[in-house]
Amino acid sequence: MTEKAQTQCGCETAEAPASHLDECCCDMPEKLLQLADEAWMEVIKEKIKKEIGDSCGESLDEIAKLVTETNCAKWQHMIAGKVHCEEYKANLKKIMTSECNK
């Protein structure tokens, strides 16, 4: 197999056995078809997303806003809880290491 054929197949080592090079090139048509299937799915997915956006855009905007606001509130609550927990731990440590406990 020529060096050009090896490069086209993606086989970069000249030490690869001939059977590997043949297998590499024999797999290429199937790999290209698989790649085409993946690209087709990506294109159709983008078209579906556009159709959903066009037909339900306003509702989706409302949902997105509601979810975003709720998520923000959830994280604020979690962070506030973490602050209180850290304060609790610090106060407990202070009490447990005070003079009267020694």
Residues 4-29 pLDDT 10s:
544 555 555 555 555 666 666 789 99
- Residue in the block written with tokens 């005070």: 98
Query: Which tokens go with 97?
Result: 């290491």
Helix ranges restricted to H, 1-102? 3-9, 18-96
pLDDT at 13: 54
**Residue count (the chain):** 102
59-95: per-residue pLDDT in tens?
Answer: 999 999 999 999 999 999 999 999 999 999 999 999 9
d(CA 67, CA 88): 31
Provide the pLDDT confidence category of residue 1 given band limits of 50, 70 and 90: very low
Domain boundaries defined on the chain: 3-101
- Looking at residue 18, what is its pLDDT? 59
pLDDT of 6: 47
Both tokens of 59, joined, read 């509702």
* pTM for the full predicted model: 0.47
